[in-house]
Structure 1
Amino acid sequence: MHSTDPGATRIVARQLYDGVDQGLRPDCILEIAQGRITQIRAATAQDAHDPGVREFDLVSPGFIDLQINGAGDTQFNFEPDVPALDRIAAGARRGGTAYILPTFITAHGQDYLRAIAAVRDAISDGVAGILGVHLEGPFLSHNRPGIHDPTAIRALNDQDIEALTSADAGVVLLTVAPETLPDGALARLTAADIVVFAGHTAASADQIATAEAEGLTGVTHLFNAMSQITGREPGVVGATFASHSLFAGIIADGHHVDWRNVAIAARLMPDRLCLVTDAMLTLAGEATEFDLHGVKITLEDGRLANAEGRLAGAHISMIDSVRNMITHAQCSVPQALRMATINPARSLGMAAEVGTLGTGRCATLTCLSNDLEVEAVMIDGKFPDETMT
């Protein structure tokens, strides 16, 4: 007999990916109380028939998106406030994402302080799924601006370091061009538990190695807006592949990175590659165009770009990214799920809290059908979107 708390939520997983094992565990039941998993055990024939039990074909740790600019017709840069974060998180959940780092891209001066304040307030207000904030810029390279406003890109200074290290807004992920930072700045940031990624950077492989020694954790959207591998200079991409510890976000939408390069990255760094959406407001929304820094961005055939064809974020969900890794990068289901769960958790230094499933762990789940459609997302033992269940 199995003892069961009558107040517990019970979920039957016909297949369970726990973020720890390399494969899928068949026919498990998860018992959940007070936002935690109290037990995972083999399911019996009776379990699925018990009142109140929910059954799903495949249950995974909740997906974690390190880089999402917007969703649900809401862009974080345009509306850095709590209601906007609630809408973005809800839009992300439609694609299976449980936790997000809402991403605020390059803006003038210390405009990023508004993003930090919004995230701090959202966490305080209990908005579901907000882990912290991702600040992508403004401390980037003028040689690799991408779609960022080049007039707002600038150098990091002591005032910025003070603001960032006192943010108190969950985990802070900061994307910088490390070659532009003042001496000692990166070490000061990482000493204060800021997670620093390299992105929009023309750094050499040696400069990345130096930054890694000072605490650099990873790179933002691998292959995009960074120096590439050449015969005599590995660049940021080569330095990331050669590293034993650097993580990398990758946009697996078929537009940002050739599928062959995605597959190479998956083979070389299966435990360090993190799926990110880089999604804009069109995700889970109705808009098909918007203005960014006065530039018109249009969605066409799943691709967001300006009139010259320069990419401007992405229009893809996490579950689409997972399916693409299976279809185009020859990943198994567990390998693809790893890149959406435990890998991003580890990149943030949060593997003890999120990204895996086990007794005593946080009950945050992404629940899928056999054909990898999202059926429900649970966050801290609750389903924020009851219509999904």
Structure 2
Amino acid sequence: MTTRKAITGARIFDGTIWHEGAALVIASGKIESVLPAAHLPSDMEIIDAGGGLVVPGFIDLQVNGGGGVLLNEEPTAEGIRQICAAHAKFGTTALLPTLITDTPEITARTVAAGKLAKAADIPGFLGLHLEGPHLSVARKGAHDPRLIRPMEEKDIELILTCQGKFEAMMITIAPENVTVDQAGRLAQAGFTVSLGHTETSYETARAYAEAGARTVTHLFNAMSSLGHREPGLVGAALDTGTLHAGLIADGIHVHPASMQVALNAKTGPGKVFIVTDAMSTIGTELESFTLNGRKILRRDGRLTLADGTLAGADIDMISSVRFVHRTLGLPLEEALRMASAYPAEAVRIADRKGSLKTGFDADFVILTDDLGMKSTWIGGNKLYQNY
């Protein structure tokens, strides 16, 4: 027998409009409807949110770790479970655990772990993001240059074993180490090919977009910049309608003014969406951790190598939403879409996630009026409550 539940007592944002005095009806893990609370049948289970906001769950397409776990250091299904659970506390209902450039052995273990995580139906697990090792050494960032290398047939074969296994899978590549034909092959197979950690030119980036590349990894960071004669990857990301772009909204990786310029300049239908690029520190008091044998330091909201190179971010999704709303001045509705609908569009799951529409997955977050966390729901089940 299907149990129908209704969330009442809060304003509901379905991804497009607000509903006042309404109820979110869920059944069998899906959204059944949003209807006036006064019209609910008397025999339905009623859950009073106690005020606040019901909004679509956040979707994070770049998550290196959380809860004390870094995927590179614990490429297991249990490691993925801990990362997903850590981010659920901050409103993330779907994410791509992200492997930073590593050895072929660790990459293979991560792929195997992802398949086990999917089989175990771990709440919040969407698929994998392989960020490297096929990047540019010149734009390596915190990636270990000793592990960066060209893409080979065996790399493609490993990725192809994931075809159809996940709801989404992203591969960040640089044209310096991946041919346009290789990128096109992966795109044709249904993977989200993302351009990042590259010195590529505007024209080359456009060629890869034409071949099927769909996103750009952490806009502005570790890529050729926008120049007046060479627009670089930043220019291609903003000027190419088919490209979507992830943005780390912590005020450290990108200056707020540059964020605003990008949002104003972006040609659609591709959108700029929020990613955290979060590391293992999220939800912990860790002051340092290890990546590829190198120590990463946590200081004043920054994560850096000993030489000061930024190494991922120390921010969660609800904090990112607050930043773009309060610091950039974006309407709350747009800030929420940047964390839900737009990433869903980027990886082609906007037909079932990212909004609170009939038939969509019942992934949502209940917030206080001032954007504090109250609870996180995945598939109609409450995964976290802030008592």
Q: TM-score, normalising length from structure 2?
A: 0.94
Partner of 2:22: 28
Partner of 2:321: 322
- With over 3 angstroms needed to count, the CA separation of the structure-2 counterparts of 1:219 and 1:6, relative to structure 1, is closer
Matched, 1:300 2:296: no
State the Cα distance separating 1:183 from its structure 2 match: 4.5
State the Cα distance separating 1:166 from its structure 2 match: 1.8
State the Cα distance separating 1:53 from its structure 2 match: 1.8
Partner of 1:229: 226
Q: In structure 2, what is the Cα distance between the partners aligned to 1:33 and 1:182? A: 46
The equivalent position to 1:154 in structure 2, one of 133, 149, 153, is 149
State the Cα distance separating 1:307 from its structure 2 match: 2.1
State the Cα distance separating 1:159 from its structure 2 match: 1.2
State the Cα distance separating 1:151 from its structure 2 match: 0.3
- With over 3 angstroms needed to count, the CA separation of the structure-2 counterparts of 1:293 and 1:16, relative to structure 1, is same
Q: In structure 2, what is the Cα distance between the partners aligned to 1:246 and 1:144? A: 20
Partner of 1:260: 257
The equivalent position to 1:94 in structure 2, one of 89, 92, 111, is 89
State the Cα distance separating 1:294 from its structure 2 match: 2.7
What are the superposed Cα offsets for residues 65-120 of structure 1, whole Å, 9 maximum, x if unpaired?
00010000111110011111111111101111011100001002353111111111
Where does 1:39-188 land on structure 2 (aligned, <5 Å)? 39-44=33-38, 52-55=46-49, 56-168=51-163, 169-170=165-166, 171-188=168-185
Q: Is the 8 A contact 1:62 1:365 kept in 2?
A: yes
State the Cα distance separating 1:61 from its structure 2 match: 1.3
Q: In structure 2, what is the Cα distance between the partners aligned to 1:186 and 1:6? A: 44
What are the superposed Cα offsets for residues 223-248 of structure 1, whole Å, 9 maximum, x if unpaired?
00000011100000011111112101
- With over 3 angstroms needed to count, the CA separation of the structure-2 counterparts of 1:149 and 1:33, relative to structure 1, is same
What are the superposed Cα offsets for residues 198-249 of structure 1, whole Å, 9 maximum, x if unpaired?
0101100000100000001010000000000111000000111111121011
The equivalent position to 2:187 in structure 1, one of 185, 190, 212, is 190
Q: Is the 8 A contact 2:8 2:46 kept in 1?
A: no
- With over 3 angstroms needed to count, the CA separation of the structure-2 counterparts of 1:231 and 1:83, relative to structure 1, is same
Q: Is the 8 A contact 1:29 1:41 kept in 2?
A: yes
Q: In structure 2, what is the Cα distance between the partners aligned to 1:47 and 1:338? A: 31
Q: In structure 1, what is the Cα distance between the partners aligned to 2:348 and 2:2? A: 35
Where does 1:213-292 land on structure 2 (aligned, <5 Å)? 213-269=210-266, 272-292=271-291
Q: Is the 8 A contact 1:12 1:47 kept in 2?
A: no
- With over 3 angstroms needed to count, the CA separation of the structure-2 counterparts of 1:183 and 1:267, relative to structure 1, is closer
- Residue identity over aligned pairs, in percent, reads 37
State the Cα distance separating 1:286 from its structure 2 match: 2.4
User: Secondary structure of 1:322's match?
Assistant: helix
Q: In structure 1, what is the Cα distance between the partners aligned to 2:21 and 2:258? A: 36
Q: In structure 2, what is the Cα distance between the partners aligned to 1:129 and 1:110? A: 25
Q: In structure 1, what is the Cα distance between the partners aligned to 2:328 and 2:373? A: 21
Q: Is the 8 A contact 2:149 2:177 kept in 1?
A: no
User: Secondary structure of 2:208's match?
Assistant: helix
Q: In structure 2, what is the Cα distance between the partners aligned to 1:179 and 1:301? A: 34
What are the superposed Cα offsets for residues 102-159 of structure 1, whole Å, 9 maximum, x if unpaired?
0001002353111111111011012101000000000000110000010000000111
Q: In structure 2, what is the Cα distance between the partners aligned to 1:37 and 1:109? A: 41
State the Cα distance separating 1:274 from its structure 2 match: 1.1
State the Cα distance separating 1:7 from its structure 2 match: 2.9
State the Cα distance separating 1:328 from its structure 2 match: 1.7
State the Cα distance separating 1:9 from its structure 2 match: 1.3
Partner of 2:311: 312
User: Secondary structure of 1:159's match?
Assistant: helix
Q: In structure 2, what is the Cα distance between the partners aligned to 1:223 and 1:302? A: 19
Partner of 1:14: 10
Q: Is the 8 A contact 1:98 1:379 kept in 2?
A: yes
User: Secondary structure of 1:184's match?
Assistant: helix
Runs of at least 4 residues of structure 1 off by over 6 A?
45-48
Of stretches 284-293 and 146-155 in structure 1, the one that deviates more from structure 2 is 284-293
State the Cα distance separating 1:13 from its structure 2 match: 5.6
Q: Is the 8 A contact 1:36 1:362 kept in 2?
A: yes
Aligned residues: 382
- With over 3 angstroms needed to count, the CA separation of the structure-2 counterparts of 1:184 and 1:126, relative to structure 1, is same
Q: TM-score, normalising length from structure 1?
A: 0.94
User: Secondary structure of 1:281's match?
Assistant: coil
Partner of 1:383: 382
Q: Aligned AA for 1:201?
A: T
User: Secondary structure of 1:384's match?
Assistant: strand
Q: Aligned AA for 1:33?
A: A
- With over 3 angstroms needed to count, the CA separation of the structure-2 counterparts of 1:47 and 1:262, relative to structure 1, is farther
Q: Aligned AA for 2:253?
A: H
Q: In structure 2, what is the Cα distance between the partners aligned to 1:6 and 1:67? A: 35
Q: In structure 1, what is the Cα distance between the partners aligned to 2:105 and 2:80? A: 20
